[in-house]
Amino acid sequence: MQKIRPCLWFDNEAEEAANFYVSLFDNSRITGIERYREEGMREPGSVMTVEFELDGQQYQGLNGGPEFKFNEAISFSVDCADQKEVDDLWEKLIEGGGEPGPCGWLKDKYGLSWQIVPRVLPELLADPDEEKAGRVMKAMLAMGKIDVEALRKAYDG
């Protein structure tokens, strides 16, 4: 077991969300489900926690009730190999009620924030040529979903 793992608080959607997330990434799976008992805070037999892995990283989903909601203070940043991966993840994550945001950010239908980042973006931003890196930053700040070709054009001037 991983020593430290994120715990995601849901109202009642932990199992549904975990199944959705594991469908998006290779090397992902549900590893366990615990149910509330008579002594619990929710209906006996309902899902309390879902243990799952996303690309080998362990997470826990908790059905804790409506008291807490996700916000942008916590997000998952996904390293994408290319534009196709960016496009695929972006569409799947906003499907069914998610919301696109600026600069590669979005919220999924559960309210969880994601950063969908093509691998080339940090490479271009790290260029020692301040002018090139600045053009990339300016282009990225004007985008919702990141467009790799537009970043390269900005880089090239």
Q: Pick out the chain residues at pLDDT < 50.
A: none
Given this model, what pLDDT does residue 150 score?
98
Residue 41: what pLDDT?
85
Query: What pLDDT, on a 0 to 100 scale, did the predictor assign at position 40?
Result: 82
pTM value? Answer: 0.94
pLDDT of residue 103: 97
β-strands 113-118, 105-107: how paired? antiparallel
Give the pLDDT score at 102.
Answer: 98
Give the model's pLDDT for residue 93: 98
Residue 125's pLDDT is: 98
Q: What is the reported pLDDT for 6? A: 97
Long-range CB contact pairs, 18-27, < 8 A, 24+: 18/50, 18/52, 18/59, 18/61, 20/108, 20/110, 21/52, 21/54, 21/59, 22/52, 22/53, 22/54, 24/54, 24/89, 24/92, 24/93, 25/54, 25/55, 26/55, 27/53, 27/55, 27/56
| Residue-level pLDDT at 1 | 78
